[in-house]
Structure formats: C-alpha cells, structure tokens
Amino acid sequence: MGHGGSHSLGIPSGKGPHLVGCIDIMTDHTIQGSFLRLYYPCVHREKHQQPLWIPRHEYYNGLADFLKYSRTITDYILKHLYGSYSVPVEWDAPFKSDGKYPLVIFSHGLGAFRTVYSAICIEIASRGFVVAAVEHRDRSASATYYFEEKTRTNSEGEQLSIPTISTLTLDQLEEKWLYYKPYKRGEKEFPFRNHQVHQRGEECTRALNLLTNINKGIMVQNVFPLDFDFSKMKDCLDLCKVAIMGHSFGGATVLDSLSKELRFSCGVALDAWMFPLEDDIHTRIQKPILFINSEKFQWLTNILKIKQLDSTTIQRKMITIMGTVHQSFPDFTFLTGHFIGRMFGLKGTIDPHIAIDISNKASLAFMQRHLGLQQDFDQWDALIDGKGEHIIPGTNIPLPPSNSQSTQ
C-alpha cells in the first residue's frame, strides 16, 4: 500500500456522482476585488477543454521567488516538470441547476495560488458542493494579478474620462502582477503575518459576498470573457450551509474567518500554521473545527495553540494522517515522481492518493455533521475520531502531561 507506483502522475478526478466544471472569476478588476477559481457540479458538453494546471508563466516566476531560486532556471525546470499538466474538470461548462448546493470557501497556503489545491476542490465539488478557491492578494501567494485602467489621452495629451467598469474591455485594462513578498530580516514577523491573515479573512468574506450576490441573481461583471451563464446559479446555493477550508496559512485563515464571519458554520484546517493568529483567537470562535495534520509538519508550540481551541461544548477535533508531509495536501504531490518528490519534501511515505482520500472523507463527514447535510458522508464518521488505517486521533507530537488529552 505504501508506494505510489500504481498511479501515473496527474491530478486525480473526483470520485463523487457529479461531473465538475470550473471557471475563474475576477470581479472588480482592481486589487480590492475578488479573484477566485470556482468548481461546481456541471452539465457535460461534447466539446470541452481542460484548463492548464499552472495557468500563466508568471506563476513559475513567483514560485522561483518563493523558493529563492533563479527565475530563469526555475521557470525552465518547473515548465518542464509541470507545464503540460491540466486539471481534470470541464472548463467553462454549464452549471447544473439541480437543488441547492452547500458552499465551501478554500484558502491556499504560503507561496501557493488558486489552482494548487485542485485535487481537494474537485473531489468536494464532485460530492455536490460549490467550491470557491480564493487567490489571496496579501503577497503570500507566489504570484497573483489584477488590472489597472489604462490612462487614455486625446491628441492634445489631455486625459479622457474613464468609462464605467461595465463598459471596460480587457484591452482598456493593464495587468499588474503581485509577487510573493518575504518578510525582511530584522523585521518582526508576527505583525507582518498577522496583517496578512486579516486581509486573507476579508478576502474569504468578500468571496462569500460575491457568491451571495450570484445566488440572488445579481449580474456579475467578470473580467474574463467566458460563456458561463451565471443566471443558472440563481437560488442554487444553500447559503445556510457554508464551510471554510484551508491549508497551512490557509488554516490560520480558516480560524481568522470563523472568528469574524458568522455565516461560516464550520471549518476544516489542514496542517494549520497558527503563528499568524493572536494568542486569544480561541476566545473568539464559537464554531466547530476539524484539524487534519500531517505527520511531519507539526511542532509543540503550534499544537498547543491548536489545543487552546479544545472545547467541551463545541466540537473540536484533531487527527493526524501518518506517512504524510506538509506538502501532502497541495497538488504537487500528485505531479512529482517519487525521487524528486521525496527529495523536495513533496511526497511522504504514504501513497498520496490514499492520504488525500482520508483527508477528503474526514472533511466531508465533518461538514455533513455540522452543515446538516442529507448525504452518506457519515459512513466516514470514524475518521473524525482518528479511527482507521494510517490515522491517529490527536497528534503524534509528545505533549506535556497536562495537555495529553487528545482533541476529542
């Protein structure tokens, strides 16, 4: 079981009953707007394409900056390794209007961007959710972009008035790229990261507001020219059933969002990085949370901060998937061969398909329980308690005696 030899490289497609469609939405082209990738149950179209996994070469430059390697070399290597992969979804496929779908907002980790967790997002969408993977603009993404209006001048060189957004076309807009910003040595890291996590929380709320408007049938001005008919989504989201998920810095974002935005009913934090959060964050969250940890990432102070969220009245659960590393959650683990994967910490000792499957099933069972879904995800309830192959309840980190009760 422990070896990934049985699968060829590629992002796994969803196992649920729904075919998954995908679009990108950028509304309000400015840096204040929302930028996200939407995964949703779709209607099959005969002629369809799959989007590239890394949509623009600028993301390679951003990854190079994040990894502190030369852009030229990294661009070449990454393009060679990952450039040909596409995502197993139907791009711009029609939305399947069929009852009401619960909603998940997904927040990426440090150095990532909106497409990097597609395996998780696709699986959850295939089970009958709409999933919005936010691309954060707090400079924690490898790269991201927005648009500025080109200043237009007449023949005398006077500036002309800018048309309203509804009449702006892409050729009147100029792309602006934002790359990963490392914090400077000697600078205090906490204020820097804390500021970022608050912006990330706001961006998750903004994504929820955008989807609320779409659900009301309010017209969306999407910067990207797509065929997608947003009116098909009207009244198709169950906005009483909204969860938030995220990995690493995205796990911190889950907690920040749950502390501020009451419309999120529960959270799933994958290998949460607790450092960016205030010490009293546990006093401000009244929602159920599932922490899913990898075996190799966690350390004592991080775990103790998670354990402050223990509660006798609100369900807080922590499980650890053995054989996993921090990078067992993003897609790189499925797209990298064994040797390079182990060398760069992109693969653990467990087959990545088994690991992500455990994580997804535990997440689905937890969301069913706390969003009140009428599905069969409760068949995986045991995973929430850390019962099963490759998982343990609580943490593998040795705790001081007073804290050794696992998060049950």
Q: Which residues are catalytic?
A: 248, 271, 326
Alpha carbons 35 and 222: distance in angstroms, whole number? 10
Output phi, psi for 340, to 5 deg: -65, -40
Q: With CA atoms as reference, report the closest residue to 121 among 268, 220, 228, 290.
A: 268
Alpha carbons 78 and 143: distance in angstroms, whole number? 15
Assign 3-state DSSP to the chain and report helix, strand, coil percentages, each to 5. 35, 20, 45
Q: Is the dihedral of CA 395, 401, 405, 407 positive or negative?
A: negative
Contact 96, 41 (CB under 8 A): yes
In sequence order, the β-bridge partners of residue 294 are 321
Q: With CA atoms as reference, report the closest residue to 66 among 10, 121, 113, 115.
A: 113
In sequence order, the β-bridge partners of residue 223 are none
Q: Is 355 exposed, middle or buried (0-12, 13-18, 19+ CB in 10 A)?
A: buried
Q: Is 134 exposed, middle or buried (0-12, 13-18, 19+ CB in 10 A)?
A: buried
Q: Indicate the length of the chain as a whole number.
A: 408
Instruction: Give the burial string for 195-224 (b: 16+ CB within 10 Å, else e).
Output: ebbbbbbbbbbbbbebbeebbeeeeeeebe
- CB atoms closer than 10 angstroms to residue 311: 14
114 Cβ contact list (under 8 Å, min separation 6): 24, 35, 36, 37, 108, 133, 134, 135
Contact 232, 95 (CB under 8 A): yes
Q: With CA atoms as reference, report the closest residue to 74 among 59, 86, 53.
A: 59
Quote the tokens at residue 398. 């040795």
Quote the tokens at residue 93. 């496929």
